[in-house]
Structure 1
């Protein structure tokens, strides 16, 4: 080693000043004078100790169960491997009918059943978790843990095993309620997920990769994470892996605040982000499953989208909030209540619609056949409508196509639009009055993604009566200020901001 060249010290030394309420950080040596100023980092007088999870685990783990499922499949006939069979069948052909092919996405539920005819037999389907919510054997878990299972085996922490039956499932929220025949079981206390805050400590107990009663810890990373139509998920950094599904998320009071349901991963294993169903939402579903075996949800018959800042300013909405109505189902509850495409729904049943995704959840929680007030922003002012809630259907409604324009078009206006009258047949099918049909697009309107065939129903909170009326409104637009066009395309309606060129 060459000792002739000595490098300056590059390591920062932290000197803790006990009792002074601060710490002095000595910066890396750079050849500066020794009396150079130092940086100070304020600290608290008391150092908070990390929480002790042992009493929480001792009080809760006996109420967490392991769930193993079986499914019935057709045994493969012994005539060889054919071109129509799956790759999994090829493995079974060489390694035997009991061979379980490896998971393709990290989840043991993804294994395929062998194809072909023959007698049915039961094969392992997957492993999950659950937790007991009543002393007489009701257990909460995920729907995907038990969906399609022919046999469900519940194993307690003390090794006792029970066969469970499904009381009810809900695919939309991925929640299932199952029951075992037992008495005086340990029960987890239900907490309040609405009180959760970012940074709170939480625990997960479950069976990752089949390892029973495994405890992991972390913090709440985010709340109200919108990844589902009806659920605002709890996001944590608690280690959750395949097999944890259906297990409880527990706070430091030993209460269930969520059901571990999903992970966001590129590998199929835990990568730092896990999602849990809030227990408040889950209990609303479970109460219905327990009483009726199914979940009924309300609907009002609208298609909605986000309200952007630009659109909110253009239509005069005080803030970018609410749900923008892009289509109203003909004859549906919203249609009968007077809701129109282009309305922004700002309140439902007295609750603010802060984000567009809030509306399906609020409506879905409302009992069908009940009446609810609906506040909308329309043409520069709020209006309150009364809507009668219907039950959500199983099938989606159809969409309709638009007619080809046949009338003569004029010249391009300040927005870059060439428009013409809307054919009466198209007006009838779209159930609209007035408006103009876009014939050609260029300039600012083209940049705003308006297309030929679009129908413009309103401009800056004024309903467009005809071509002449539209041109008059465009002529009065302020230069450099975005105008809001209510555009109908097929069955969807959207506010589109366009800034006049001159």
Structure 2
């Protein structure tokens, strides 16, 4: 009886095999496709051999008072740690046993200041690194992987992008290949070579975690999970084709050490800066003379804009290119030179990369419609100090205080003359919701809901007519700037 049972199982198995035979082609086609998705881990050995000779160690020195006890002097790695993560040099105590005149620094010599990394841009000795690595150094020493050491000259540095170029007297050097950042994809393998804590030619690897990560005004960074530590600064971020796609510059850390989030300067931006540094030793940037902010849902709603995009103009500097072109506080800049501004941080980058003196097309959203304008881009300069308008009259309690949280008063003739205004309402005290909107004592209210407010009476009348369920625009004058803000009235 056992034999038929076995035969029955065999027949059943045969039927099953026959039934699968009909779909066998489909199974055979699906399995290899799935197998192609799973790949082995990358081998970085060839990349290290290819790019490693182009990565250098950078040591910086500065003149400091000679100290009798070397044990009191911190090593270069610790100095770099303090400078990179606390923003200040590491304090170095005097040796209490040293002679008084020696402690005062009568004799000086070069002392270790910090360590970093860099990479060779050209065969004739131009080296790229971070600005913070060489900024303030009296001497810069570059050591090649073959152990040759050179005293470098700082060609130029740009603190805003944290890019620097130094030059060594050497030829026939192995230069890196520059990659295309636009081809870089999130999830792609990348590698870093540098000198963390002074350990030369250290290789770490990971993937691209994100692109276009906003952490600064003039740059959007490449985010990776490549291990970056003090001393890696200025070293290259390399793709699997052996091309440099970024400069390792920053990390996010609560402890001062690597925590899985690193940031690299995109190489296209760095090269653009380096070309100016090599040509003139400095970087020229365009400017408009506006204070900008993000366009959020409330701002878009208050100004009748259907999408939350563009850069909101909160203030216009007097005499600036923006004022001359007719840009006003409350405008939303939608396009610059035909390029759409998706978020406010796009604007300073576009303008900053524009040569000063260029006449550029600009599109703004104003009072419910778009407006095409032209502006002559100025050259970037330090912001002018803001002076606060003086308050000379007693605060006046009013309905404005109940609805907007503002105690206001009339401008005196002296104040109008000083501020070059025909009218306006002085802010004498601030409470919620005005404080939340950033309004300060001493500001001058010029318009509410896009209607001018030459005096307190006009402001009172406009406030009484407000729809308290919606945010409202407010134009103010602060020192030499006219600024725009949005306030949500008290219901």
**What TM-score, normalized to structure 2?**
0.81
CA distance in 1, matches of 2:340, 2:260: 32
Match of 1:58 in 2: 49
How far apart are residue 141 of structure 1 and its match? 0.7
CA distance in 2, matches of 1:164, 1:179: 5
CA distance in 2, matches of 1:380, 1:119: 69
Match of 1:47 in 2: 38
User: Does the CA-based 8 Å contact 2:76-2:114 persist in structure 1?
Assistant: no
Deviating more after overlay: 339-348 vs 448-457: 448-457
Change (3 A) 1:75 1:360: same
| RMSD of Structure 2 on Structure 1 (CA) | 3.2
How far apart are residue 20 of structure 1 and its match? 10
How far apart are residue 129 of structure 1 and its match? 0.9
Structure 1 segment 68-79 matched on structure 2, within 5 A: 68-76=59-67
CA distance in 2, matches of 1:216, 1:378: 51
Change (3 A) 1:150 1:484: closer
Aligned mate of 2:447, from 451, 458, 461: 458
Match of 1:32 in 2: none
Match of 2:374 in 1: 386
Aligned mate of 1:401, from 388, 393, 407: 388
Unaligned 5+ segments in structure 2 are 1-26, 95-102
SS at match of 1:270: coil
Match of 2:215 in 1: 227
How far apart are residue 348 of structure 1 and its match? 2.4
Structure 1 segment 311-390 matched on structure 2, within 5 A: 311-390=299-378
Change (3 A) 1:19 1:206: farther
Match of 1:195 in 2: 183
CA distance in 2, matches of 1:448, 1:180: 53
How far apart are residue 360 of structure 1 and its match? 2.2
SS at match of 2:218: coil
Deviating more after overlay: 234-243 vs 365-374: 365-374
Change (3 A) 1:229 1:236: same
Structure 1 segment 53-452 matched on structure 2, within 5 A: 53-76=44-67, 92=69, 95=70, 100=75, 103=78, 106-107=81-82, 110-112=89-91, 116-393=104-381, 395-404=382-391, 406=393, 409=396, 411-412=398-399, 415-416=403-404, 421-438=410-427
**What TM-score, normalized to structure 1?**
0.79
How far apart are residue 151 of structure 1 and its match? 2.9
CA distance in 1, matches of 2:82, 2:394: 58
CA distance in 1, matches of 2:392, 2:417: 14
SS at match of 1:359: helix
Match of 2:100 in 1: none
How far apart are residue 448 of structure 1 and its match? 5.4
CA distance in 2, matches of 1:99, 1:495: 49
CA distance in 2, matches of 1:169, 1:452: 40
Match of 1:9 in 2: none
Please state if 1:495 is matched with 2:480: no
Compare the two structures and name the one with the higher helix fraction: 2
User: Does the CA-based 8 Å contact 2:65-2:109 persist in structure 1?
Assistant: yes
Please give the per-residue CA displacement for 1:221-257, whole angstroms capped at 9, x wherever unaligned: 2222222222212111100011111100111121111
User: Does the CA-based 8 Å contact 2:410-2:425 persist in structure 1?
Assistant: yes
Please give the per-residue CA displacement for 1:343-378, whole angstroms capped at 9, x wherever unaligned: 333322333333222222222212122222233333
CA distance in 2, matches of 1:102, 1:296: 33
CA distance in 2, matches of 1:376, 1:48: 49
Match of 2:5 in 1: none
Change (3 A) 1:101 1:237: closer
Unaligned 5+ segments in structure 1 are 1-17, 23-42, 79-91
Change (3 A) 1:337 1:156: same
How far apart are residue 284 of structure 1 and its match? 0.9
How far apart are residue 430 of structure 1 and its match? 3.8
Change (3 A) 1:443 1:287: closer
How far apart are residue 469 of structure 1 and its match? 4.4
How far apart are residue 99 of structure 1 and its match? 6.1
Please give the per-residue CA displacement for 1:243-282, whole angstroms capped at 9, x wherever unaligned: 1111001111211111011112222221111111111111
CA distance in 2, matches of 1:311, 1:500: 17
In the alignment of these two chains, the number of paired residues is 448
